[in-house]
Chains A and B, each alone.
Chain A
């Protein structure tokens, strides 16, 4: 989370002194963290470098041809199926992050400003569903949205519809609903943290100077909580673009996402370099989209002031 966290306190450089003590402290600290650091280097950084390398190679049956080529990227960006999957994945992850942030903001605000003594109980209540298996949560949405599912039988029982609707499951809306539910906690927590940091006296000052509750919220609280909103949006957007389970279980034909295509290249289709190129393309494009989102939110923040 730290990677995406915005506006966290800067390193306290002021307290640092160049002295032998600092030297030994730096050495000790680094030595202590190095096993974990090396682990992340070997199992995260090295693998990602290997994927990037593969994306420039080609595969002949079982052997990898190590000559440099951009052919995989040409396929990833111009083949209609991959282009469509990529667009759909970006559209889904953007919609999901927008929805989760908009839905999560009021609840984060409620807990922070009106939670009172029960703040930590509320937070605990919100995190609990997140700790249950992701696979099971997706499965329960399948139970709810299915042809014979809870929603259909409920609506029929109430006489609102005559026969089960097929429009609920196996499309991109089902994927969006499921992901919005699955990522809710990840959006609430960063917004809550940034709202906690809002200086309450500033809000009071705005009220004393004649701002109504809505104006003081729009001009004081909301702009000050922007770092949390940005982290929440990024924390949801980047992982959801590569979601595999949800499109596979509730997406049907119209909800397939890029991760399903990537998995196919490492499974049935067995074209590792193409799979690698698809992964790299996805990461690059989602990073660009994340960057654009940050810029847009910041621009809106300036407008609000």
Chain B
């Protein structure tokens, strides 16, 4: 018995190590092959070059796609965070009938097949006579970003001590003043974290953009177009590496802020309440 007990954790931790390797291995090949001189990704590397990276800024279509992605990402993250703040505040602060149903509906895009979500939005937009553009992509991205925004914001808002706001009101602060000087500083990290998460999702999102865009390509759509040509692969790998790096940095910052928000609302609230 004791043998099993001692053996089990070590077996589990080596399994955990292997699992992490399985999760990270595919991702690691992108940067490795992006500095390879040969166009086909195979070992051993034929030589090291930054050539593929130097070519990136010289591609006008790529520059356009980057701008489009930035426009869509910034608009989608702001819109979905605003809608996320309203919903998360309502869910964590108030109790009312139908609350869980509404919450379930708002979170539903998370578990629905993306293709079906995308084609149904496409049908409605065409019926309404909206012409497909970056605007329609933003509308679609907001829908899929809200659930993530909600998750981040609810964890920041939960445990938020209401008595702090009440104290502020009792001490003569106006509703807006209370919001600006008490509520906002407490939840600001969660809000920034939500903006970063939504921006990252929008930056990487392909299916919805693919169906809902007109002629303008976002970065994933540009990559999709390039994938047809084997010779373009190294350029795509270089671009992919930069995107990976951007996502990684943004998500790390978002996670640090989310934790700070969760700590702030719980510990400080508890301490000063």
Contact = CB atoms under 8 A, between A and B. Distances in A.
Contacts of A276: 119, 123
Contacts of B93: 29, 32
Contact of B112 (A16, A30, A239): A239
Contact of A144 (B20, B26, B110): B26
A43 interface: yes
B19 A107 contact: yes
Contact of A148 (B16, B22, B41): B41
Contacts, number: 270
Given A1-B110, A40-B106, A213-B1, A35 B23 contact: no
The B interface is mostly helix, strand or loop, or mixed, namely helix
B91 A33 contact: yes
A31 B64 CA distance: 40
B87 interface: yes
Interface stretch (B3-11, B51-59, B166-174, B180-188): B3-11
A40 B115 contact: no
Interface stretch (A76-84, A150-158, A198-206, A220-228): A150-158
A40 B20 CA distance: 36
A128 B251 contact: yes
Interface residues of A, number: 94
A39 B96 contact: no
Nearest to A15: B95
Contact of A133 (B8, B110, B247): B247
Nearest to B15: A106
| Central interface residue in A11, A50, A54, by most chain B CB within 10 Å | A50
B124 A36 contact: no
A35 B110 contact: no
A139 B227 contact: yes
A289 B97 CA distance: 30
Interface in A228-284: 234-235, 238-245, 249, 259, 262-263, 266, 272, 275-276, 279, 282-283
Interface in A132-190: 132-137, 139-141, 143-144, 146, 148-150, 152-154, 157, 181, 184
Interface of B: 1, 4-5, 8-9, 12-13, 15-16, 19-20, 22-27, 29-30, 33, 40-44, 83-84, 86-87, 89-91, 93-100, 102-117, 119-124, 127, 139-140, 142-143, 146-147, 151, 200, 203-204, 206-207, 211, 220, 223-224, 227, 236-237, 240, 243-244, 247-248, 251-252, 255, 259
By Cβ-Cβ distance, the 10 closest A-B pairs, closest first, are A242-B113, A29-B94, A47-B120, A26-B96, A133-B204, A33-B90, A32-B90, A36-B87, A140-B26, A153-B42
